[in-house]
Every structure is written in structure tokens, then in C-alpha cells.
Amino acid sequence: MARVIAVANQKGGVGKTTTTVNLATALAACGKRVLIVDMDPQGNASTGLGVSAEKRSQGVYQVLIQGLALDEAESTTLVPGMDIIPSGVELSGAELELISVDNREYRMRDAIDRVRGRYDFILIDCPPALGLLTLNALVAADAVLVPLQAEFYALEGLSHLMRTIDRVQRGLNPKLSLQGVVLTMFDRRNNLCEMVAADVRGHLGDAVYQTVIPRNVRVSEAPSHGKPVLLYDMRCAGSQAYIRLAREILQREDGLAGQPAMAS
């Protein structure tokens, strides 16, 4: 049965989409069957993986609002073993439309429950807000993975997110837990980065992964080629970091790291 992980942080530009796409690719390279659910109306995960406009007309919006089954909305990707439920522009209206839909907080959970058996991991890329789309992801998820950019206000935003997770756990989804926090766009030459990292580790301890994702230009170039960075430049520091993150997550899940089997 798939472990469902919501990649969430209400702040934009912290590396949610980048982490979803590249962690998913690294998990697939370790032999896992992975599904990405693109819950962001901006559709960056879908475009970054080169999903065509035609395929994007069957996606998260149709699942949430029209009750389309997830397996009918799936597209394959360039990565063997990795599929995506894409998003398109209609999804930006879903936040409002969901308000008057039955079971509005449970729509994604109900859809995911029917395909859980076919995947090892389902990663949900959340929009940069704590509205009904992110709520659907948190209700569907077993755990939340938080990408955190090491900057001055990082901890403040994090405590807001933690309170939201707590509230969802007490109300809508008792099994929800914190998967972990991953520091993104990290720059070891920047003192502030190191200070914030030490602070975050001081507050959250083991919840923060040992692996940090370095700021790396290859990571930001890859989406414009419609590829995850692992397919664009397997050897760059960003690719290697996402492989390490996948191993760390797998090690924590079952004490056994998979071996990446993908050629560049």
C-alpha cells in the first residue's frame, strides 16, 4: 500500500514542486512505483515534467470536482515507474467550487484510496496556501514533508504550518504525521543559512533530514527542458542530493535503502 506524502509549505518559492518532482524521480530510481499528484493550479510539476496540454485536460480538477477516477486522469512520465495526475488552469477555480461540493475535504482522499495498492509512494505537490486544495492533500496524506528555505522568517512560517497540521490531525485526519523537514536551496557559504539550519535543528531535532538540498543551477534549469534534474544531469550536486534524500527517507521507512538503478 502506498505511503501518501503531502509536500506542503504555505510559502511560495521554497522548493515544494522541485522536491516533489525530484524526490519522486529518485524514489522511482530506487525501484519504487510513484505517483505525483499536482495540486497546484500553477501546474509547475506538470509542465516541469513535460506533460502535454491535451493530457492536462484530465487532471486534479476533474478528480476533485467531477469525480473522475484517478486512474483515468493519470499520465505517464519520462521516468519509468512514475506517473502524474496533472493540473491545469481550471484548478484555480476549484478552491471556490469545492466550498459547495459534498465531502469537500475528503475528495482527494477518497480518490487516492482507490489506487493506493498500485503505488509505493504518492507525493502530493501542494499550492502555496492553506486553503481547501492543501486541506484535501493533508486529509489524504499519511504524512507531511516540509521543504524549508533557510532564511530569516523560516521558523515563523513553520510554526503556522505545524499548527495547521495539528488541527487537521485533531479533526479531519487523526493519522497525519510529520514526515520530515528538508532544507532547500542551501548555501554553505552563507552564514545566515547555517544559523537558520542550526536553529531549525535545535527546535525540531531528528525531524530535520541530514540531507540538505544545495542551491544548484542545474536544478532550476531542468524544468524548462521538461525533465527532472536526475534525467537532465544525473551527476550534478542537486541530483545527488535528491538521491541521498530518497535513501534517507527509505532508510527511515524500513531500514533498507534502495539502490538507484537509473542511467543518466
Report how far residue 13's alpha carbon sits from residue 154's, in angstroms, rounded to the nearest whole number: 12
Cα 86 to its chain centre, rounded Å, is 13
Report how far residue 93's alpha carbon sits from residue 239's, in angstroms, rounded to the nearest whole number: 34
Entry field: residues in the chain: 264
- Establish if 144 lies at the interface with ligand ADP (CB under 6 A): no
- Establish if 239 lies at the interface with Mg ion (CB under 5 A): no
User: Nearer to Mg ion by C-beta: 30 or 51?
Assistant: 51
- Establish if 224 lies at the interface with ligand ADP (CB under 6 A): no
- Establish if 185 lies at the interface with ligand ADP (CB under 6 A): yes
User: Nearer to ligand ADP by C-beta: 219 or 246?
Assistant: 219
- Quick note: the x/- pattern for Mg ion over 34-73, rule CB under 5 A, is ------x---x-----------------------------
Percent of residues in the chain assigned helix, strand, coil, to nearest 5: 50, 15, 35
Instruction: Tell me how far, at minimum, the Cβ of 235 lies from Mg ion, in Å.
Output: 25
Distances (CA, A) of 147 to 38, 69, 70: 16, 29, 26
Distances (CA, A) of 207 to 30, 146, 211, 234: 22, 10, 12, 27
Q: Are strands 121-125 and 3-7 parallel, antiparallel or unpaired?
A: parallel
Cα 94 to its chain centre, rounded Å, is 19
- Establish if 75 lies at the interface with ligand ADP (CB under 6 A): no
Instruction: Look up residue 192 and give its three cell numbers.
Output: 545566515
Instruction: Tell me how far, at minimum, the Cβ of 13 lies from Mg ion, in Å.
Output: 8
Q: Which of 11, 16, 56, 247 binds Mg ion (CB under 5 A)?
A: 16
Q: Which of 31, 128, 131, 157 binds ligand ADP (CB under 6 A)?
A: 128
In three-state secondary structure terms, 121 is strand
Binding-site residue total for ligand ADP (CB under 6 A)?
Answer: 17
- Establish if 216 lies at the interface with ligand ADP (CB under 6 A): yes
Q: Which of 17, 46, 77, 211 binds ligand ADP (CB under 6 A)?
A: 17
Residues that bind ligand ADP (CB under 6 A): 12-18, 44, 128, 184-185, 213, 215-216, 219-220, 238
Residues that bind Mg ion (CB under 5 A): 16-17, 40, 44
